[in-house]
Structure 1
Amino acid sequence: MVRLACGCVGGTLHHARSLRRLRGLTRGFLDEGSFDTAGAVEKDFAAAATYAANFDPIAAHTFVGDIADYRDVPRVDLVIGGPPCQGFSALGRRDPDDVRNQLWREFVRVVRESDAQMFVFENVDRFARTPEFELLRRAAHAGGELSEFRTQVFRLNAADFGTPQKRIRTIVIGSRIGSVAEPVQTHAKVPVGALSRWRGLREAFLEGPVRLEPEVREVWLPESTVDFQGESVEGAFKLHDLHLTRQYDLTSEIRYAHIAPGQSRFHLPDELQYPCWRRHTKGAGDVLGRLEWDKPAVTMRTEFFRPEKGRFLHPQWENGGVQINRALTHAEAAVAQGFDDRHMWCGSKAAIARQIGNAVPPPLAEAVAGVVAQRLTAGDGY
């Protein structure tokens, strides 16, 4: 079994938010079957509790805090993780001085101190076009902090690996024992040969092993807490505990009822438009958008439960028939990310939403784990 340091990327000081993607990465790498966990770093308490509930039940290797304070780095074969994406995302300010953009330096430190043979660094698609990406590549050049590693960069869409969601990520794999093959695509928008068609939401919600009925009445999480490192945290919740809706006002429900699958705010009559929408007739085409049953979801964000934040309305809509006029539930968003009912969640509804929206889809992580495992088990040089 390969020793793996999961999510050694945590947060920084200055109130920067920590990485909350290590659960999906870890789930995918463990599902591949060649890896075990030896260490994890997470600044967010609820997210750390979620990690421990799934992968470290006695909290033996979960460090809760700033990665800059993480010093007891275990010796491992592989380090996986990545800094928070907010500083690089098209939705953020893209400020080059954002402290969150500097966390890759701490990731490099952990790689060096762990004596790892390989590392996997994950981030948003835009990361490959940032100055920080160039600095990371230079670190692997002669004289750099990672000069003994050969780096390879892959731009991967989670939908191509069986996730019912279009989500493109930059994956940087570093190795000092040889190069890796590109992860093998299993699905495609237009299937050819052995490739299957992209998974749609109908298959994910209604036809797969996890059945999520469109009608939802529950609003609040069950009353349940667990002890984590001497403190109480809400959870641990199963997937179906997260199949929760919100309380919408009548005007919102009327707006949602006017939007068919594939449509958005642009299709609302003038009397239902917000005043600011009437003035801005371009851009933000996904706002108040409805998903489609037989297509993957758009990229899940941390506020998927707010239809005004993107294309997050439930795909069930029939003119003159049954309509589901709400955003995705937490459970539906988790399934769209590729999680199943094995996974447990800790924290408030808002905290869990952040964890879901920032996660790496486990099917994508598993595909990356496959090529990493092949290199580690082969172990031959360049």
Structure 2
Amino acid sequence: MRFIDVFAGCGGLSLGLLNAGCHGVAAIEKNPMAFETLRHNLIDGKRFKFEWPDWLPRKAMTCEQFMDDYKSRISELAGTIDLMVGGPPCQGFSTAGRRNPADPRNKMAEQYLELVKIIRPNYIVIENVSGFNSRFNEEKKTSAADEKYIKRSYADYISEELSGLGYKVSRGKINCAVFGVPQNRYRYLIICAKEEVKENLFEELIKSACGFKKSKGLDFDRSVTVHDAIADLETTNKKLIPSTDSTMKRFWEIEYKAPDVLSPYLKVMREGCSGVPNSLRLPNHKPDTIVQFVKFRQASEPGKSLSKKARDLLGLKKHAITVLARNYPSPTITTLPDDIIHYSEPRILTARETARIQSFPDWFEFTGKYTTGGKSRKLDCPRYTQIGNAVPPLLSEAIGSMLLARAEQEQILLEPLTAMDS
């Protein structure tokens, strides 16, 4: 099953599909930092390599640039692509921010639809935040062009457009924790098939969850916890050494040694990696910050966002901050590292710990700076942002496995007919 990944980020969707047995053809991502991580690991990686077209530069570009500069060549892909996936930028839909129908990033989903019309893939998967299926408030409409997003959700709009193109559309909201991700991350999926299908592919995906977890060696009747995911990365009783992959001085990381006995989830994360994962740099908190984190733990219920009353008492202006609950999945990993505090240590998580909670394996190397600030925040996509924006690879692998199993079943059904024809 050959796929194209649009709005690919650092490669969470692509990684899961490749692990499932699909073959990458091309990936479109506009941010150079995120694209470099994707290229380094998957396009030109040691474990995976995309079947990249000779005419397409291996560099960051927008979906609009891709279609404007290579439209004549893109049409050559028509009929050769089985699956097109993508997670159009979601800031305009997110219930965590200011939902705005006029946000120009919303229009990127329409570019995705234009690409569908040219390539005509057999299957389409669109992943977005759960707010993707919520209507915008009437008073936020800024122009007549926004009318289609006011009367219906953007998910409704896109689904109707895809149905008009001849696709059977199935969709719904899922919790990534169902597929073994140690995180309660609710996402909205639209899964489409070009040919006439009786099955609801979204429901097929949900039904496959238990079997998928068992295939990964995970307990199907319990959620993976943050302790399962990151216990071996705690600093307690560990030797600290200078950070090995940071350009900034005076940062430390643990001297990592894999445990003798791996938890089922850690076996998944460590598969294919016999050495030390990258992105282990520990935060360099000021003493006052550490004291503040201790107060957060005392004032909060682990696993739940600090209440407004507690925030007011602590003089905290930040709206969302959560101390992890050791024996439960994490809340949604975001692009802001100070949204979450470690369950037993007064610090934010390392980039590798957030990657583990997102289900990125240890061999996957994140590139570029760790964080950014000021005016650069709108342009840069450092490691924490790459990880927070990504689709959890375990969810993507479950999607790929479900579609491959369905394609294989179709082939089995077709073989008797082929034999009769011959």
TM-score range for the pair, normalised by the shorter chain length: 0.7 to 0.9
Q: Output the CA distance in 2 between the equivalents of 1:243 and 1:55.
A: 21
Partners of 2:306 and 2:25 lie apart in 1 by 47
Give 1:38 shift: 0.5
1:374 equivalent in alignment to 2:405: yes
Q: Which residue in 2 is equivalent to 1:300?
A: 333
Instruction: Give 1:3's aligned amino acid.
Output: R
The residue that corresponds to 1:173 in the other structure is: 191
1:25 to 5, 13, 16: 13
**Residue 377 (structure 1) shift:** 3.1
- In the other structure, the counterpart of 2:180 is 162
Q: Partner residue of 1:221?
A: 245
Kindly tell me the number of residue pairs found equivalent between the two proteins: 322
CA distance in 2, matches of 1:365, 1:205: 21
1:247-275 Cα distance to aligned partner (Å, 9 max, x none): 22222211212214617655998997227
CA RMSD of aligned residues (A): 2.9
Pick closer, same or farther for the CA change 1:78–1:269 going to 2, 3 Å. closer
Label 1:69 to 1:271 Cα distance change in 2 as closer, same or farther (>3 A): closer
- Rg: which structure is higher? 2
Aligned match of 1:66:
62
Is the contact made by 2:246 and 2:369 (CA closer than 8 Å) also made in structure 1? no
Aligned-residue offset at 1:115: 2.5
Between the aligned partners of 1:83 and 1:198, the Cα distance in structure 2 is 28
Separation (CA, whole Å) in 2 of partners of 1:53 and 1:375 = 31
Gaps of 5+ in 1: 10-18, 189-193, 225-237, 278-283, 317-323
1:102 aligns with 2:123: no
Q: Distance in 1 between matches of 2:180 and 2:350?
A: 21
- How has the CA–CA distance of structure 1 residues 152 and 91 changed in structure 2, closer, same or farther, with 3 Å as cutoff? same
SS of alignment partner, residue 334 of structure 1: helix
Show the counterpart of 1:233: none
**Percentage identity across paired residues of the two chains:** 25
| 1:48 Cα deviation from its structure 2 partner | 0.6
Q: Map of 1:97-176 to 2, 5 A cutoff? A: 97-130=102-135, 131-141=153-163, 144=164, 146=165, 148-176=166-194
- Distance 1:96-1:218 versus aligned 2 partners, 3 A rule: farther
User: Quick one: distance in 2 between partners of 1:250 and 1:113?
Assistant: 57
TM-score with structure 2 length normalisation?
0.69
Matched, 1:256 2:284: no
What corresponds to 1:5 in structure 2?
Answer: 4
The verdict on how the C-alpha distance between 1:273 and 1:114 changes in structure 2, with shifts beyond 3 A counting, is same
| Pick aligned residue for 1:200 from 225, 235, 251 | 225
Which ranges in structure 2 are unaligned for 5 or more consecutive residues? 136-152, 214-218, 249-274, 372-381, 414-422
Structure 2 match to 1:36: 23
Preserved CA contact (<8 Å) 1:255 1:272: no
Structure 2 CA distance for partners of 1:340 and 1:253, relative to 1, 3 Å: same
